[in-house]
Structure 1
């Protein structure tokens, strides 16, 4: 057997955005497009991780899932982590990316991972969005 195949056997053949796009196309109730197909939202991050793991990705926790979204330049518009005590899973996490839209699979393949080293400062703080999830969606 070719040594290169052995080394790369456990690596996914598709990128995170391509896998995400494929999952979106399967028509699940827990992950969906908005009306104009420019935003995605999901309310079951554990299910999303299981789906990605089935495609060869090694996401083991929510931090690695969020890191993938960040590394590929997705912008978080709403964060369900702030409402973690929602037993009915009605809280949605919403993301957008300028090259990730319904019906444009070709643009999805142009999304590249970006690696940015950030230094954390103790004076910086994140502010939540002043608008509601309904306004975002």
Structure 2
């Protein structure tokens, strides 16, 4: 299924995790679960934003996508954004959340948005490790 999807009223995506779960359930090659279903990865952030937009979310750029992941408590385990231009999409960004699991949709539906106010002068952490050690 592509960007122009028909969304039924029976299954609206209310939250970011629900929309993300729906995209993962469609079985794309650019976004997938790991073997045990505790992590997922994607290699096309632009496609992810288009898919989220088709489900009614206002993800316009990578900053708003990152904000959604952070607001819902997802942990970035690797980051392909800092790699060089990748025309073959071989670099993956990996995320995990303790309640976002392949075989437990009910717990992922219960994930709530959280807001954490951080001091402006807080030092950022170093970038995550490479995909080989986490996937």
Q: Same fold (TM over 0.5)?
A: yes
Q: 1:18 & 1:76 partners in 2: Cα distance?
A: 18
3-state DSSP of counterpart to 2:89? coil
Query: Structure 1, unaligned stretches of length 5 or more?
Result: 1-11
Q: 1:57 & 1:128 partners in 2: Cα distance?
A: 27
Output the TM-score relative to the length of structure 1: 0.85
Aligned to 2:133: 135
How many residues in Structure 1 have an aligned counterpart in Structure 2?
124
Aligned to 2:119: 119
Output the TM-score relative to the length of structure 2: 0.86
1:73-92 counterparts in 2 under 5 A? 73-92=73-92
Instruction: State the Cα distance separating 1:38 from its structure 2 match.
Output: 0.2
Query: Structure 2, unaligned stretches of length 5 or more?
Result: 1-11
1:4-83 counterparts in 2 under 5 A? 13-83=13-83
C-alpha RMSD of matched pairs (Å): 1.4
Q: 1:13 & 1:32 partners in 2: Cα distance?
A: 19
Aligned to 1:94: 94
Structure 1 moving runs of 4+ over 4 Å: none
Instruction: State the Cα distance separating 1:133 from its structure 2 match.
Output: 1.0
Aligned to 1:7: none
